Amino acid sequence: MFDPMKSSTYKNISCDLPACNKLETRGCSTEKRCNYTYGYGDSSTTHGVLAQETITLTSNIRKDVSLQGFLFGCGHNNTGGFNDHEMGIIGLGRGPLSLVSQIGPLFGGKKMSQCLVPFNTDVSISSKMSFGKGSELLGDDVVTTPMVIPEHDPTPYLVTLL
């Protein structure tokens, strides 16, 4: 589990910073930390502080890419589908603080693809995610689905099923 106290690059975001205003549900602690509450479609919730950290991703050429100042919610009170073996949820929506929105400008656009292995696949074989330019998947066995943007909430991705 991530422990902010063991990180030399972790920093809580102040309520006075513009990043705090990008949250839909925010509050301010007595210490001026930017608090958030977020709910998911499965009724899970997370409550915590908006923070920034240096994160490291492994590229498709096995080269590590470090991203400084990455904004994320550091949850302190999570309910619902969370468990002791998970560290969190990656935001892939179109909101301003999602992973895709934050790294998009660095990697050629707000694009992503996800290739899921079958459900009962050996746990040593992982699914893959790609971001930015070149994340398009092509091939004979590739199935794609166009995304639908709902008018009432432009953040989530939806698909039309036939």
Q: What is the pLDDT of residue 87?
A: 67
Q: How far apart are the C-alpha atoms of 59 and 76, rounded to whole Å?
A: 30
60 assigned to some structural domain: yes
- Total domains in the fold of the chain: 2
Residue 143's domain comprises 110-161
Same domain for 81 and 120?
no
- Judged against a pLDDT cut of 80, whether residue 31 lies above it is answered with yes
Q: Is the dihedral of CA 64, 70, 76, 80 positive or negative?
A: negative
Same domain for 7 and 79?
yes
Q: How far apart are the C-alpha atoms of 107 and 100, rounded to whole Å?
A: 10
24 assigned to some structural domain: yes
Same domain for 17 and 49?
yes
Same domain for 77 and 120?
no
- Judged against a pLDDT cut of 70, whether residue 4 lies above it is answered with yes
Q: How far apart are the C-alpha atoms of 120 and 96, rounded to whole Å?
A: 34
71 assigned to some structural domain: yes
Same domain for 27 and 68?
yes
Q: What is the enclosing helix (H) or strand (E) of 114?
A: strand 112-115
39 assigned to some structural domain: yes
Q: Angle 84-1-54 (CA atoms, 0-180°, nearest 5)?
A: 145
User: Are 140 and 125 within 8 A, CB to CB?
Assistant: no
User: Are 111 and 104 within 8 A, CB to CB?
Assistant: yes
Q: Tell the residue number behind the tokens 């603080």, with chain if given.
A: 97
Same domain for 79 and 133?
no
pLDDT digits (tens, 9 = 90+) for 38-93: 887 788 888 999 999 999 988 777 788 899 999 999 988 888 877 777 667 777 88
Q: Tell the residue number behind the tokens 């240096």, with chain if given.
A: 54
Q: Residue 66 corresponds to which tokens in the numbers above?
A: 């470090």
